[in-house]
């Protein structure tokens, strides 16, 4: 590690995003100095409101695709979360999405090579595509459409993983890779296209809950606190990855809709729409590697996590929420 890099100083890109803001809070609570970077294209500066006056926290509005500043080279550890994760955004901004994944990762790898920092890259379960292997384990190569509506995100993340391995093998850069499965919790944003936030907002506003396909497709939902804990363990450990970070509990979309209706007390109906192209039929992580190498598994069950998330959205929506008798 270079003389300018400090192990107690942590750089977080995508810091104003949903997961990034929770990660910043956890790092500050552990006594780190945090440099937060976000261009606010999909992040929300309000997510960092409670941190902006903290003496150990600085925020830089900056695109990860730009050349890093000399100050960023002071960080001994780098968490890269800079990429749109909302389908509602990345499918309308595919060029920006690819660039943030690929060019952004390259910029940070160059930074890490010269400063000696350790770089943790957040990849995604989307690298598995519409899997024909279930549950998905890290050795599975995936089943991805390279030219589809989701490819800007799927293939961008796959390319970033390849780049991390190339820098590690050829240039000795210290890297870590996490493949995140469907994280949810407070600070998801209304209208972001993710199923948990979509269903909760629709239920609270008395609108129909939109289920695509017949509702039998599955996802596995991991509460944000559990995801952040896994990322920190991976960064602290000696295991390169990739390591799946997700909750192995598998739920159909129809089941999720019914649970949210019950927890909100909403009288909304469930309606069905055509399944989008390339939408995965099943998604569930094998977390054997995370259990054995990180001693990690999720601790927040779905109903408890949904209650906390619903409470968050009641506050966000305010008077727009329906009152349920």
Active site residues: 153
DSSP E strands in the chain: the ranges are 6-13, 33-38, 57-61, 75-80, 118-124, 175-180, 183-184, 209-212, 218-219, 222-223, 243-245, 251-252, 270-273
Is 30 exposed, middle or buried (CB count within 10 Å of its CB: 0-12, 13-18, 19+)? exposed
How many CB atoms within 10 Å of residue 128?
A: 28
Cα separation of the two ends of the chain = 61
Residue 166 CB partners (closer than 8 Å, separation 6+):
none
Residue labelled with tokens 């780049």:
163
Distance CA 105, CA 98 (A): 10
135 vs 1, 74, 244, CA distance in Å?
38, 40, 11
Q: Which of 324, 176, 191, 168 is nearest to 260 (CA)?
A: 324
Distance CA 114, CA 150 (A): 33
Q: What letter would DSSP give residue 132?
A: S
Distance CA 191, CA 177 (A): 29
């Amino acid at each position: 590690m270079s003389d300018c890099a400090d192990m107690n100083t942590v750089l977080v890109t995508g810091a104003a995003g949903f997961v990034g803001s929770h990660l910043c809070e956890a790092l500050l609570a552990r006594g780190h100095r945090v440099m937060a970077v976000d261009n606010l294209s999909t992040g929300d500066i309000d997510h960092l409101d409670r941190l902006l006056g903290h003496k150990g926290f600085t925020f830089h509005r900056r695109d990860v695709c730009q050349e890093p500043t000399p100050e960023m080279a002071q960080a001994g550890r780098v968490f890269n979360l800079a990429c749109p994760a909302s389908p509602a955004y990345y499918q309308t901004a595919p060029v920006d999405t690819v660039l943030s994944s690929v060019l952004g990762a390259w910029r940070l790898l160059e930074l890490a090579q010269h400063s000696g920092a350790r770089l943790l890259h957040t990849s995604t379960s989307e690298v598995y595509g519409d899997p024909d292997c279930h549950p998905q384990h890290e050795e599975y190569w995936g089943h991805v459409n390279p030219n589809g509506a989701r490819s800007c995100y799927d293939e961008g993340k796959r390319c970033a993983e390849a780049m991390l391995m190339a820098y590690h093998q050829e240039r000795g850069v210290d890297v870590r890779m996490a493949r995140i499965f469907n994280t949810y919790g407070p600070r998801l944003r209304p209208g972001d296209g993710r199923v948990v936030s979509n269903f909760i907002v629709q239920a609270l506003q008395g609108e129909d809950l939109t289920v695509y396909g017949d509702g039998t497709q599955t996802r596995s939902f991991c509460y944000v606190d559990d995801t952040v804990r896994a990322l920190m363990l991976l960064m602290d450990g000696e295991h390169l990855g990739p390591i799946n970070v997700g909750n192995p509990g598998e739920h159909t979309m129809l089941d999720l809709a019914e649970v949210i209706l019950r927890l909100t007390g909403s009288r909304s109906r469930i309606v069905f729409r055509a399944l989008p192209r390339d939408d995965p039929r099943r998604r569930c992580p094998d977390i054997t590697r995370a259990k054995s190498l990180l001693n990690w598994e999720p601790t927040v069950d779905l109903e408890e996590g949904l209650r906390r998330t619903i409470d968050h959205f009641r506050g966000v929506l305010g008077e727009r929420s329906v009152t349920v008798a």
